[in-house]
Amino acid sequence: MRAAYLTVFFLICFSAMGQVDQFQKDIIEYLNSNGTRLQYNQAYEAVFPLLAKNFKDFDIPEKEWQKLKKDKKSQVDEVIRMLSFAYRKHFTQQEINQMKSFYSSEAAQKMLAHKTLSEEENKIISQFFESEVGKKIVSVGPNLTQDIEQISTEWSKELFSAKMSELIKDGYVY
């Protein structure tokens, strides 16, 4: 059942990908401001030590690794686009804009960076999470997390497989 859900979900995502509307742009801006892009930049980089471990018997030059990493931006852009459909499923455009506004604030950015917050910044953060949107984030959290995990897992598998295939194609066969 889970595979069928994921298949239908991705079909909807990919069929709609050619149609980037303002709602999707707003979600992408939100994901860029709330730390999601940074998280996936790090996830992208984490693939390469795993690949190196699998190809440890080969002396793969640094030049080859750099060549494999050239598509980082496009790969991260792709997962952000895929994630935007999960957010679209759970939130309205107005809610996304409220979330985007909050996460673009200095208080939220300091919170994300785990910096010390002033009393006023703590108040701003508390007010947001006590708002209707903040409460909705908490209430849809488990379902959204499940969607995100499915997308992330699929993206990671595809990325790892693609990079492994490139290494094999370049003659690093084990």
Rounded-to-integer distance, Cα 43 and Cα 35, Å: 12
Looking at residue 168, what is its pLDDT? 94
Backbone angles phi, psi at 19, to 5 degrees: -115, 80
Cβ(37)–Cβ(31) under 8 Å?
Answer: yes
Classify residue 5: in a domain, yes or no.
Answer: no
Classify residue 8: in a domain, yes or no.
Answer: no
Rounded-to-integer distance, Cα 7 and Cα 20, Å: 21
Owning domain of residue 145:
20-169
Classify residue 7: in a domain, yes or no.
Answer: no
Looking at residue 4, what is its pLDDT? 52
Looking at residue 7, what is its pLDDT? 53
Cβ(47)–Cβ(163) under 8 Å?
Answer: yes
pTM for the whole thing? 0.82
Q: Which residue has the tokens 């939130």?
A: 91
Looking at residue 36, what is its pLDDT? 97
Classify residue 4: in a domain, yes or no.
Answer: no
Classify residue 12: in a domain, yes or no.
Answer: no
HSE-CB at 155 with a 13 A cutoff on CA atoms is 22
| Alpha-carbon radius of gyration of the chain | 19
Which residues, other chains included, contact 163 with Cβ-Cβ below 8 Å and sequence gap of 6+?
47, 48, 51, 68
Looking at residue 173, what is its pLDDT? 80
Looking at residue 12, what is its pLDDT? 54
Q: How many domains does the chain have?
A: 1
Low-confidence ranges of the chain (pLDDT < 50): 15-17
Classify residue 93: in a domain, yes or no.
Answer: yes
Classify residue 106: in a domain, yes or no.
Answer: yes
Classify residue 1: in a domain, yes or no.
Answer: no
